[in-house]
Amino acid sequence: MTNTITNPVLETIKNRRSTRAFTDQPVTRAELDAILSAGCWAPSGHGHQGWHFSALTTAEHTARMAAAVRTALDLPESYCFYGAPCHIIVSYEATHQHAWLDGTAAVENMLLAAESLGLAACWINQIRVCCDDPAVRALLTEYGIPQDHTVIASIALGHGAAITAPKPRREGVITIVE
């Protein structure tokens, strides 16, 4: 799809990549606050905003979370959220009708906010898959995720250590009716 109009927001949307290699450089508190705020400004059905965002900002907490997920899903020893220095867990009231829609809108807002700040990020699916495993749930509770929430996704966040090439976008998915 080619288009003739561009602006900083459209550039950010196009430049965002899933990054899977990070440097040790930490995410500053100001950057993290800006990204979490972008999550809070996502649209939500009826404006319900039934989400919660927990940000793990130390290697120790991230490693504990990765280890619990690794054990729950029988993943290889190397599994570590790509070594990102920060990890944001997005959860939502599990039984709410818009949980997945609202939650994923918040995830995308934060991915775009990260890109706009020159940071790198990757959507992570595995905590979602095993969030009701007892050991994973215990850790989620310790990290502030409410008991009645399900995990929507998490985000590995930091400074990219490698440039990710864009995946070609599928053709033929747009119909313009005039």
Q: Closest separation between CB of residue 19 and ligand FMN, Å?
A: 8
Determine the Cα–Cα distance for residues 167 and 46; give it in Å rounded to an integer: 34
Question: How many other C-beta atoms lie within 10 A of the C-beta of residue 156?
Answer: 24
Sheet strand arrangement including 149-158: 51-56, 86-93, 149-158, 120-124
The residues in 126-155 that bind ligand FMN, with binding defined as CB under 6 A, are 126
Residue 20 structure tokens: 């899977």
Per CB under 6 A, does 159 bind ligand FMN? no
Per CB under 6 A, does 106 bind ligand FMN? no
Determine the Cα–Cα distance for residues 63 and 67; give it in Å rounded to an integer: 6
- CB of 173 within 8 A of CB of 124? no
Residue found by looking up tokens 């040790």 in the block? 24
> Looking at 18, 49, 71, 150, which residue binds ligand FMN (CB under 6 A)?
18
Q: 32-71 mask for ligand FMN (x: CB under 6 A)?
A: ----------------------------------------
Q: Closest separation between CB of residue 85 and ligand FMN, Å?
A: 17
Q: Closest separation between CB of residue 47 and ligand FMN, Å?
A: 24
- CB of 107 within 8 A of CB of 114? no
Q: Closest separation between CB of residue 95 and ligand FMN, Å?
A: 20
Q: Which residues bind ligand FMN (CB under 6 A)?
A: 17-18, 20, 122-126, 164, 167
